[in-house]
Copies of this chain bind each other. A is one copy, B any other.
Amino acid sequence: MFRNQYDTDITTWSPAGRLHQVEYAMEAVKQGSACVGLKSNTLVVIGSLKRSPHAELSSYQKKLAKIDDHIGFGIAGLASDGRVLIKNARTQAINHKYTYDTPISVQRLVLQISDKSQVSTQRSSKRPYGVGLLISGYDEQTGTHLFQTEPSGNYYEYKAIAIGARSQSARTYFEKNYQTFEEADEETLILHALRALKGTTGDNVELTSKNASISIVGKDRKYKLIEEEQLEPYLAKLEENAAATTEQQPAEQQDDVDEEMVQ
């Protein structure tokens, strides 16, 4: 467990120029259930694997959130931290619309969320947020966007990406297939997202309409959440095409994930 003496205070640099507390917060992201995202020229899809504290008795935890008609969030990591950032993002989106009478640009919102995260890495009074976000959005001027934010306050733009537990499998899937995404239609994108998610479920878990959910946003397309029965046609198609994906590489083992606080 122990690494060195520079890793307990948020405001302490290690001799190697690292901020260990920020890195540890990133570990919480890696332990959340996976979130995948991909985009075409006109659409952005986020898919998430939901967890349930007691499979039969409870509903599954929501991990996808609408920020505005043109922006959606997916989270991996500490759910309660994620809520704080979602709430903050909604407030900023509303304020922007109210002040300028235009929707907030995706890039601007990503920046504001990241700046808020940066503050928690520099001051001693608060810990860094333990959550990673996938941010999907569509701007009239700049088209579709898919961003990832980190506890460090860094953010990256992607064509396709996956975060959370066992997400390496999904990233590998995307690396093989991303060239075809640009012109893909909605159904194709959703099926890609589901196939990527499937690789992150772990050994004994099936991808079902209960534990998976999909969000979509894009050109002439207001944010829409697809889950439960609405998801089943897609899962059925996934089954049909299974032959095409049987050669899917097995997900790497990562069984020591803390199932309780992160999702």
Chain A residues in the interface with B (C-beta under 8 A) = 1-31, 52-54, 56-59, 61, 78-81, 83-84, 87, 111, 114-115, 117-118, 120-130, 152-154, 156-161, 171, 174-175, 178, 258, 260-263
Contacts and interface: CB of A to CB of B under 8 A. Distances in A.
B158 A58 contact: yes
B13 A27 contact: yes
B10 A153 contact: no
Contacts of A57: 158-161, 171, 174-175, 178
A80 B153 contact: yes
B8 A9 contact: yes
**Nearest 6 A/B pairs, CB to CB:** A17-B27, A80-B153, A13-B24, A17-B28, A11-B127, A80-B118
A80 B158 contact: no
Contacts of A128: 13
B21 A78 contact: no
Contacts of A10: 11, 127
A234 to B, nearest CB: 23
A72 B120 CA distance: 27
A111 B83 contact: yes
A102 to B, nearest CB: 21
Q: What copy number does this chain have within its complex?
A: 7
B171 A84 contact: no
Given A124-B124, A161-B57, A175-B57, A117 B154 contact: no
A27 B21 contact: no
A84 B53 CA distance: 26
A2 B7 CA distance: 12
15 contacts: A12-B21, A12-B127, A13-B24, A15-B20, A16-B27, A19-B127, A19-B130, A53-B156, A54-B175, A57-B160, A80-B114, A80-B154, A81-B153, A83-B111, A122-B127
Nearest to A53: B156
A15 B19 contact: no
A43 to B, nearest CB: 17
B1 A2 contact: no
Contacts of A123: 125-126
B8 A25 contact: no
Nearest to A16: B27
